[in-house]
């Protein structure tokens, strides 16, 4: 009976934390679809990455909180709707509710045909910022999960190398653990400036962190 009760306790604890999470409450107040918006917001505010007029690609965009944040940054008045000064192209394997002015593509970034659709949407224009909140479904097997995470980040780096402006920026989510050091080295091999970042909105107990690479080598 104890074994059966354990998941319920875990779920209750998670639910309690979620309901009382200040970022969840703030997201509801600010009209963001998820608390994740504040992770990108903090990175952007500290590093000044996203500005009006920019072309931004949002990988792993669903449910859309990062695209919402970018949309407000590209709006002349910082508004969630209305005029948009710039371009946002978002992609996710999951569906995403529309956001005014955001071009959304649904598909698997690992598939060549989907990558071609994304390239067509970019229309040959140099991209200012690529942000990636992509993460694979984790199996709990460390080596397999590390390989899946690495593969997605390697694809994001390849896309950035092909489409970023010379002084452009790539932001990716990754996790401390197996393969982390190799991914940091991958960034250092491709970008002039590399900064690890752990936003306050990223929960303390989470191994989640972010890498920011600026200026292609």
According to DSSP, residue 60 is labeled S
Four-residue CA torsion sign, 141, 142, 143, 149: positive
173 noted as active-site residue: yes
- DSSP code at position 203: -
Q: How many CB atoms lie within 10 A of CB 208?
A: 16
Pair of tokens at residue 197:
């970042």
At 90 the three-state DSSP class reads strand
Through-space distance between the first and last CA atoms of the chain, rounded to whole angstroms: 58
Compute the Cα dihedral for 26, 59, 49, 54 and give only its sign.
Answer: negative
**Contacts with 1 (C-beta within 8 Å, 6 or more apart), sequence order:** none
Token pair recorded at residue 25: 């409450």
Tokens standing for residue 43: 């990175």
Task: Provide CB contacts within 8 A for 159, sequence distance 6+.
Answer: 57, 59, 115, 118, 130
Q: Which of 6, 12, 41, 173 is catalytic?
A: 173
Q: What angle do CA 197, 69, 191 make, to 5 degrees?
A: 40
List the catalytic residues.
173
């Amino acid at each position: 009976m104890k074994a059966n009760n354990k998941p319920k306790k875990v779920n209750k604890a998670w639910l309690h934390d979620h309901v009382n999470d200040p970022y969840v409450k703030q997201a509801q107040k600010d009209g963001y679809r998820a608390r994740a918006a504040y992770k990108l917001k903090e990175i952007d505010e500290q590093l000044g990455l996203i500005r009006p007029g920019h072309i931004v690609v949002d990988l792993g965009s669903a449910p859309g909180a990062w695209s919402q944040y970018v949309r407000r940054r590209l709006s002349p008045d910082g508004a969630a709707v209305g005029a948009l000064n710039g371009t946002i192209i978002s992609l996710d394997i999951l569906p995403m509710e529309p956001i005014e002015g955001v071009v959304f593509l649904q598909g698997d970034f690992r598939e060549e045909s989907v990558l071609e659709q994304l390239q067509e949407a970019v229309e040959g224009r140099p991209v200012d910022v690529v942000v990636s909140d992509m993460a694979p479904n984790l199996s709990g097997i460390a080596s397999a999960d590390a390989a899946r995470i690495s593969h997605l980040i390697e694809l994001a780096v390849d896309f950035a190398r092909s489409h970023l402006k010379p002084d452009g920026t790539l932001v990716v989510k990754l996790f401390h653990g197996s393969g982390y050091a190799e991914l940091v080295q991958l960034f250092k091999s491709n970008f002039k400036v590399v900064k690890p970042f752990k936003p306050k909105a990223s929960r303390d107990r989470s191994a989640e962190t972010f890498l920011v690479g600026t200026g292609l080598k």
